[in-house]
């Protein structure tokens, strides 16, 4: 039930969807003869699209998330294991084309390959099922396995979890799969903007992990002053940021995160 509700309500929580719905509502009001109200609603939609599509507002929303956890410090020594969260691979296109197709968060897969090479004996888990609600459910994990095998990486140290649909399920199924022992150090690889929610979720299920953020999207706080050259780029970044802020609140209210805005320990 939580998965279905998160997908349905999530559609309306995406700013670009709301802006489009406002524009449609404005046109509808104008067509129905509500000229004054229709003009106001239409004008608001245009202003919001311009504001979040061109101004630095999207970066201002995103930066507190991406800067929450610093880059992992390799001087701490080799980890005992690595968890890579799904979202790096588009399983439906991969299935259609017969080749592993990386998605917008493909840096997660790149980090997996890099870490597999850097730590050749460390256990690595790719946790990724299907987050599709309406289309066919095709899991990511088998395509992560295929990618590793094509690069000559295989063996018992690679584990693949293909049932999870949400971050909470990522945490539970990964924990149950590896059964982490006290004192073990596990890295968690996911997008920098997603890291606060992911860390809070893993802590909630009793799986202590160290953040290995990737897919930063920004170069740092200087980007808080930079406008966008394309409306689509600004809106896409706004959607990414708001999806995580909404997720943080929902996960905290539903008991799926250890705290509202998890940070480093």
CATH number of the domain to which 160 belongs: 3.40.50.620
Three-class SS of residue 125? Answer: strand
Shared domain check, 14 and 129 = no
Q: Give the neighbor-by-neighbor strand order of the sheet with 81-85.
A: 158-161, 123-127, 81-85, 186-191, 210-214
Pairing of strands 186-191, 81-85: parallel
Shared domain check, 126 and 149 = yes
Residue 204 belongs to some domain of the structure: yes
Phi, psi of 212 (to 5 degrees): -125, 80
Shared domain check, 85 and 61 = no
How many structural domains are present in the chain?
2
Shared domain check, 176 and 108 = yes
256/247 Cα distance (integer angstroms) = 10
Whether 204 shows a pLDDT value over 80: the answer reads yes
Q: Are 191 and 155 in contact (CB under 8 A)?
A: no
Residue 168 belongs to some domain of the structure: yes
Q: Are 90 and 105 in contact (CB under 8 A)?
A: no
pLDDT band, very low/low/confident/very high, at 5 (cuts 50, 70, 90): low
Residue 222 belongs to some domain of the structure: no
Residue 262 belongs to some domain of the structure: no
pTM of the model: 0.92
Question: Given this model, what pLDDT does residue 4 score?
Answer: 62
Residues 6+ apart with CB under 8 A from 64: none
Shared domain check, 237 and 199 = no
CA-derived radius of gyration, the chain: 20
Shared domain check, 93 and 210 = yes
Shared domain check, 171 and 96 = yes
Question: Given this model, what pLDDT does residue 129 score?
Answer: 86
Shared domain check, 179 and 107 = yes
Residue 125 belongs to some domain of the structure: yes
Whether 134 shows a pLDDT value over 90: the answer reads no
Residue 257 belongs to some domain of the structure: no
Shared domain check, 144 and 79 = yes
Question: Given this model, what pLDDT does residue 138 score?
Answer: 86
Shared domain check, 246 and 178 = no
Shared domain check, 146 and 22 = no
Shared domain check, 153 and 49 = no
180/200 Cα distance (integer angstroms) = 17
Give residue-wise pLDDT tens across range 15-64: 999 999 999 999 999 999 999 999 999 999 999 999 999 999 999 999 99
66/190 Cα distance (integer angstroms) = 11
Question: Given this model, what pLDDT does residue 9 score?
Answer: 67
Question: Given this model, what pLDDT does residue 41 score?
Answer: 97
Residue 80 belongs to some domain of the structure: yes
Nearest to 163 by CA among 141, 144, 145: 141
Whether 234 shows a pLDDT value over 80: the answer reads yes
Percent of the chain with pLDDT over 70: 94
Give residue-wise pLDDT tens across range 89-114: 999 999 999 999 999 899 999 999 99
Residue range of the domain that includes 59:
2-65+230-252
Q: Are 172 and 196 in contact (CB under 8 A)?
A: no
Residues in the chain, total: 265
Residue 33 belongs to some domain of the structure: yes
Please give the angle made by the CA atoms of 93, 247 and 20, to the nearest 5 degrees. 65
């Amino acid at each position: 039930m939580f998965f279905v509700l998160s997908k349905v309500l999530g559609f309306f929580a995406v700013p670009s969807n709301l802006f489009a719905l406002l524009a449609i509502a404005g046109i509808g009001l104008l067509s129905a003869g509500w000229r004054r109200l229709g003009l106001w609603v239409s004008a608001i939609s245009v202003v919001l699209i311009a504001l979040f599509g061109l101004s630095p507002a999207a970066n201002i929303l995103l930066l507190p998330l991406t800067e929450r956890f610093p880059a992992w410090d390799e001087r701490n020594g080799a980890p005992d294991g690595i968890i890579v969260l799904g979202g790096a691979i588009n399983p439906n296109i991969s299935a259609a084309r017969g080749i592993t197709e990386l998605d917008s968060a493909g840096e997660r897969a790149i980090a997996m390959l890099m870490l597999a090479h850097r730590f050749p004996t460390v256990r690595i888990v790719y946790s990724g099922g299907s987050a599709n609600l309406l289309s066919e459910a095709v899991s990511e994990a088998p395509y992560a396995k295929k990618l590793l095998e094509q690069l000559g990486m295989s063996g018992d140290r690679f584990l693949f979890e293909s049932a999870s649909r949400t971050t909470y399920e990522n945490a539970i199924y990964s924990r149950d799969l590896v059964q982490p022992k006290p004192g073990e150090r596990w890295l968690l690889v996911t997008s920098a903007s997603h890291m606060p929610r992911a860390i809070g979720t893993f802590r909630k299920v009793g799986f202590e992990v160290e953040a290995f953020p990737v897919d930063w999207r920004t170069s740092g706080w200087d980007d808080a002053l930079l406008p966008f050259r394309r409306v689509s780029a600004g809106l896409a970044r706004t959607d990414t940021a708001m999806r995580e802020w909404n997720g943080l609140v929902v996960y905290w209210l539903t008991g799926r995160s250890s705290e509202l805005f998890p940070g480093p320990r």
